[in-house]
Amino acid sequence: PVSVGMSMDIASIDTISEINMDYTATIFLRQRWTDERLCFDGNKSLSLDGRLVEMLWVPDTFIVDSKKSFLHDVTVENRLIRIYPNGTVLYALRITTTVSCSMDLTKYPMDKQTCTLQLESCKT
């Protein structure tokens, strides 16, 4: 197994829909792992074009309860790949996602809602 470190920042919560029972958020997702096959001599990291992600193994991370999501691509896909001499890979991307959130509005306007944003990885 490959150990993958992950961090996430919520850039914005764009909409909350009580009618559709969902919310839309833009997030910055960063993942880090080590792939010994990518080790190289040197003391500086390499930043690669995001289009090269097709040539690398990346974790198959998904957003639980996502109704729809998209990667930002103006003017190019908002993805960063940085490889360090020891084979550590940093993979970062910006995603906007709409996620289900079951809301209990029976005590409105004195209600309080808790919506989660969960990430998982497929195991194959």
What number of other Cβ atoms are within 10 A of residue 92's Cβ?
A: 16
Contact call for residues 33 and 59 (beta carbons, < 8 A): yes
Please choose, from the candidates 14, 28, 8, 21, the residue with its C-alpha nearest in 3D space to the C-alpha of residue 118: 8
Query: Is 52 inside any structural domain?
Result: yes
Would you give per-residue pLDDT tens digits along the chain (124 residues)? 889 999 999 999 999 999 999 999 999 999 999 999 999 999 999 998 877 888 899 999 999 999 999 888 877 778 899 999 999 999 999 999 999 999 988 888 888 989 999 999 876 5
CA atoms within 13 A on the CB side of 123: 4
Contact call for residues 26 and 12 (beta carbons, < 8 A): yes
Q: What is the domain-level CATH number for residue 51?
A: 2.70.170.10
Number of domains in the chain: 1
Query: Is 24 inside any structural domain?
Result: yes
Query: Is 51 inside any structural domain?
Result: yes
Query: Is 109 inside any structural domain?
Result: no
CA distances from 124 to 3, 12, 90 (A): 15, 32, 22
Identify the pLDDT of residue 11.
Answer: 95
Query: Is 108 inside any structural domain?
Result: no
Identify the pLDDT of residue 64.
Answer: 93
Distance CA 105, CA 16 (A): 13
pTM of the model: 0.84
Query: Is 47 inside any structural domain?
Result: yes
Identify the pLDDT of residue 1.
Answer: 82
Identify the pLDDT of residue 124.
Answer: 55
